[in-house]
A and B are shown apart, each in its own frame.
Chain A
Amino acid sequence: MNRRLLAGALLAGAFTALALLSLVWTPAPLDLIDITARLQPPGAGHWLGTDHLGRDLLSLLMRGAATSLGVAALAVSLGALVGVPLGLWAAARASWLDELLMRGNDIVFAFPPLLLAVLLSTALGPGAVSAILAVGVFNIPVFARVARGLALPLWQRDFVLAARMAGKGQGRISREHVLPNVAGGLVVQLSLQLSLALLAETGLSYIGLGTQPPQPSWGRMLADAQTLTALAPTLALFPGLAVALAVLAFHLLADGLRERLDPHREAR
């Protein structure tokens, strides 16, 4: 196991574990508002201090992780579940259909994501569902493109010809031969997209289009902390650090996986 993969897996694992833990237990109740204990610095009672409403920052961060990771994971899953089959389909039919699918992809690519997010929040109301849909839709062309790119050269390989000689159709070859051989590359992309989706979710929450209060989220916490930076700098520091570390974790994971799954390495 290479160092990046190890670091990425440990860090991402830690975030996921904390996020899951927060669903059943947090150091302090999340809805405990205690104005007298507001803006406390990090210390024994509250390890990371408290916010302007006196809520425990560590608890908020943990539950925020659950929100952010959850939204990111669902959005990326949506992108992968729609995008990968589209990409494989396009690669199998290197014809007008491929052209059509890929140009459709380009259109989605060209559309400003923020605009869609605004549109969706107007239609559905701001919230986690809008964020998942907005981020998810923009993940579709990414996965379609990557899956198609990985699958295309496989269609030139002799083992695909051999499968055609066995009378198998394009759908069956895509499922039985192509998908298992592109899975490694897709896992790398999955990890990378997760980090980007995390960032996107934080951004949307920050401008108020994502997760809504009282549901805690990292973006929301950063927005709240903004006006208080001079008074309590740690209030912005910890969520900021959490976002940076989580993004780094999934990036490292993607890099490590890429190195690990490199066919040139496998051959040696």
Chain B
Amino acid sequence: MSARLEVQGLHVSLGGQPRLQGLDLSLAPGEVLGLVGESGSGKSLTALAIAGLLPPEARVTGRVLLDGEDLLTLPEAAMDARRGAAIGLVFQEPMQALNPLMTLAAQVAEALRLHRPLSAQAAREAAEAALARVGLAGLGGRHPHELSGGQRQRGVIAIAMALQPRLLIADEPTTALDVRSQAQVLALLRGLVREQGSALLLISHDLPLVAGVADRIAVLQQGCLVEQGPALALLRTPQRPETAALVANSALAPRPAAPLPDLSAPLLAAEGLVREVRQRRGLLARPGVKRLLDGVTLQVAPGERVGLVGESGSGKSTLLRALLALEPLQAGTVRLQGQRFTGAERALRRQVQIVFQDPAASLDPRWRAWELVAEPLALRDPVPDRAAQRRLACDWLDRVGLGAEVAERYPHQFSGGQRQRLAIARALILEPALLVLDEAVSALDVSVRGQVLALVEQLCRERGTALLFVTHDLGVVRAATDRLYVLEAGRIIESGPTAEVFARPREAATQALLAATPDLAALLA
């Protein structure tokens, strides 16, 4: 079988820096090639290079053959005609790929008419058919904001696939979606590619996800191709240590079962939490009331590791803010160490701290590292003087493995994993009794993820700190927690020892969540 896409010796340099070095890839019709690698490995650059979308200052050499035609030598006008028609593109964020003012059907029709001489009527019909193929039949009249994230991404796929491109490039197509939509979108992509004989280049940082759909996998690291081969063979018997490390880091080992803790004197006890917001649909409609939290009750024992799992929109973030007294409540109480916590009690506030998901957003870009780490010391009574604060902050910079010499740096001078270490130092500087991790490792590369989890584990074990992991990532929950709560539509629908919930989920929603989660270990077994 001749190759649909053949990339030969692709070199890309930006600003004199080589970013891709001698990349060779090949992709047959109907095939799915997964391109995986950590941030900065050159995955997205590869996609842009193939689609001819690199910034003008980029220097490119090598060959990109689509059915034997070298795309790199084509003039810009000819590439314009190929993009959309012969090469379809799907990017991470569907909201940015869609025009908010146009209906979905109109956007599909526009793409069709751009490349084919169709009447408006014929284009509309073709658009409806394309939407039906991605499971959006009857939703063509909606605007992007009237659709869920998964539906939007399917709309983008409908646009990309409407012209039956020979090659589809999907760059992190499911990263912005929740677990269940993720599985649906991937199944859809794979089905369409099979059906139409296209080839799919699936780019992702998420190895377990790619492993489930790709026929072959190519691993990139720092702009170089490490290894490529049939998916299962490559994962089971990696030829290169880099691949082996990636596989090992991607499959976190489940935590051994631990005896249930004594919950008679819980560290944190939330009872019957209710959070409602007024919602107005349309200018004249009567405001309705939406319940974000609907009577949530949960406990965390001293020193315990608890997971709180739920999909986006389940109320995780609201619950988390409520527990931290950052969100007003309509009913219910939060108790810390047996005392009512409303946010005003400074002594209690000291006992609970948090690490946020995105370390870039949770660190003020204009503050120095030590100032950021020292910020919670404002809660100490009395507040230590500046010199003492700096000393303490430097100790903690040391403890999280950054070293006191980085004290004067600003957040942008750190990598993602290092920034998360800063955030951990800030959260632990008061030595709280409870540390809340809000998706704290979700934005990190898998190699860094393991290190950060190990650091948190070690620091908290030494101090007997209880941990509350709030996440959609079941792999992390399984590796790091002993007990777990499942949140769905503002209610706790299931709870119990982590190992037991994983082995025997009772609720349908939990089962669906587990089924949709890519499990690398099961795949390799």
Contacts and interface: CB of A to CB of B under 8 A. Distances in A.
A166 B365 contact: no
A159 B426 CA distance: 11
A181 B367 CA distance: 10
A168 interface: yes
Contacts of A163: 364, 375
A158 B361 contact: yes
Contacts of B356: 158, 161-162
Contacts of A168: 375, 378
A166 B375 contact: yes
A177 interface: yes
A157 interface: yes
B326 interface: yes
Interface in A172-205: 177, 180-181
B358 interface: yes
A94 B263 CA distance: 39
Interface string B345-370: 01001000110111001111110000
Nearest to B362: A158
Nearest to A181: B366
A159 B379 contact: no
Given A158-B356, A161-B326, A166 B378 contact: yes
B260 to A, nearest CB: 29
B344 to A, nearest CB: 9
A165 B378 contact: no
Contact of B426 (A162, A164, A167): A162
Nearest to B379: A167
Contacts of A177: 364
Nearest to A166: B376
B346 A167 contact: yes
B324 interface: yes
A167 B326 contact: no
A167 B354 contact: no
Given A167-B346, A168-B378, A162 B365 contact: no
A158 B355 CA distance: 10
A231 B267 CA distance: 90
B366 A166 contact: no
Contact of B354 (A157, A162, A180): A162
A44 B517 CA distance: 86
A259 B326 CA distance: 36
Contacts of A162: 354, 356, 362-363, 375, 423, 426
Interface string B370-387: 000001111100000000
Contacts of A180: 364, 366
A165 B376 contact: yes
Contacts of A159: 361-364
B376 A181 contact: no
A166 B363 contact: no
A165 B354 contact: yes
A181 B365 CA distance: 8
Contacts of B364: 159, 163, 177, 180-181
9 contacts: A158-B361, A159-B364, A161-B326, A161-B362, A162-B375, A165-B324, A167-B346, A168-B378, A180-B366
The 5 closest A-B pairs by CB, nearest first: A158-B362, A166-B376, A167-B379, A158-B356, A159-B364
Given A158-B361, A168-B375, 8 more contacts: A157-B361, A158-B358, A161-B321, A161-B362, A165-B324, A165-B349, A166-B377, A167-B349
